Structure 1
Amino acid sequence: MDAPKLPGQRIFDLYLLADKWTATFNEDGRGVSLTDDSVAWISGHRAEMAALTGVVSVRLQFVADNEDFGSFRKCRIEFGDGRRLTVTDWTRTRRGEAAPGYRAFVHDLHNRLVAHGSPSVRYLTGKAPREARIERVVIGALLLFGALITLLSDPTPKNAFGLLLIVLAAVAFLSAMRIDMSKADEYDPTELPEALIVPDEGRLARTR
C-alpha cells in the first residue's frame, strides 16, 4: 500500500478476496491493513476501507487439501453494508505453506474489535451454512445433469449408472435442505481457536 501510514496502522502482505465466496486468490487481491478504527484492503488494484464498527461477523475456517491451493486457513469478515472480506494464509511458494503474517493479522483484528467493545459482532467457526447449502445444491444439479446425459445415451431400463446418479442427486438435495441455517459454532474473541489459525506442521509436511 502506497498511502501514508496512519496512526496505529499495521500492514499485512496477505492474499484476500473481496465480496466473493469462491477461492480464486491472485495478485489483484493482496494487501490488508488495520488501524484502531478501520480495516483497509486492495482488491482489483482498488483500495477500499471499512470501519471496524461496521463489522457484523468474523468467521475462521480451515480448508483442507483444496484442489487448486492445497490446504489453507481463512478469516472472513462481513460488514453491515453487505461487503465481505476474506483474508487467507495461502501463499504462492508451496502448497499448504502458511503466510507468516496471517496469525498476527487474526490476533490484531480481534484485539482491535474487542477494544471497540462491539457486542453485535458474531465470532464464528467453520463453513457458513449458506455456503454449504449452495455447494450441495450445485453437486446435486451436476449429478442430475450427468444422469440425464447417461440415460439419453443409453435409454434402457437397466441403466443402473444413470439411476445411481439420480439417487445421489436426491441425497445431495435432501442434505442441502436439512442444513440448519440458524446453527452457528461461536468462539470467544479473547480466546481464539488456535487450531484454525496456526498450521499443523506435521500434517502440512505430508502435503508437500
Structure 2
Amino acid sequence: MNLWNYVRGREGTLAYLTYQHASLAFQTVLVGTVIGILIAMAVYRFPLVSALSLTSSRVALTIPSLALLALLLVPFGLGVVPSFIMLAFFAALPVIGNAIVGLRSVPGSVVESAKGIGFSRLRILLTVEFPIAWPVILTGIRVSTQMIVGVAAIVAYVLGPGLGSLIFNGLSRLGGANALEMALTGTILIVIIALVLDGLLVLLGRLTIAKGLSS
C-alpha cells in the first residue's frame, strides 16, 4: 500500500520520466542498430576484418559504462549528449556481432543463384542476404534493447533523462520517507518499458521475418 500511496498524486511526473526513459532507449537503440548494420554490411565479406570487428564488438561490451560516461563528460559536459553517445555506442555492439554472424551464415549457393540470374552485388545484399540474416539481426536488436533500457538508468549520474534519477535519489535517501518506494517505482517502470519494447520487437519479427526463417 505504501508503494501505491507514493504513486498516487505523482502520476504526471512518473509518466514524464517513463516517457523520457523509453524515448532515450528507443532513439539510442535505433541509432545503434543503423550503425551496427552498416558496419556489418561493410565488413562481412572480408573474413579477417569481420572477425576483428566481431571480436572487438564483444570486447567493447566489457568497458564499464560509468567509466565511458565519465570520459564523455570532458568534451560534452553534463546532460543528454554524453548520455546519448554512451548508450548508442553500447546499443550498436550486439547488433554488429549478430549482423556479421547472420550475413556470413547465408548459404553460398543462394548467393550464387542470385548472381546467376543477374542480380548486382547490392541487390543481392538487400534482397537476398539481408532478409535471410534478419532473424539473427533482430535477435541482436532485442538483446541490445533490453541492455540499453537497464543501462539507461545510470545516466542520472550525469543529469541525463529518465527513471535513473528516481532510483538513485531513492537509494541515496534510504531510511527516509518514501525512499524505498521511489527506488522501487523506478525499477518497476524500467522493467515495464523493457517488456513493452521487447513485445514490440517480437511483433516486428512476426511481421517482417519470412516464413521458414527463424532466429
Q: Structure 1-normalised TM-score?
A: 0.31
- Structure 1 or 2: larger helix share? 2
Q: Which has the higher contact order (CA 8 A, sep 6+)?
A: 2
Q: Structure 2-normalised TM-score?
A: 0.31
- Structure 1 or 2: larger strand share? 1
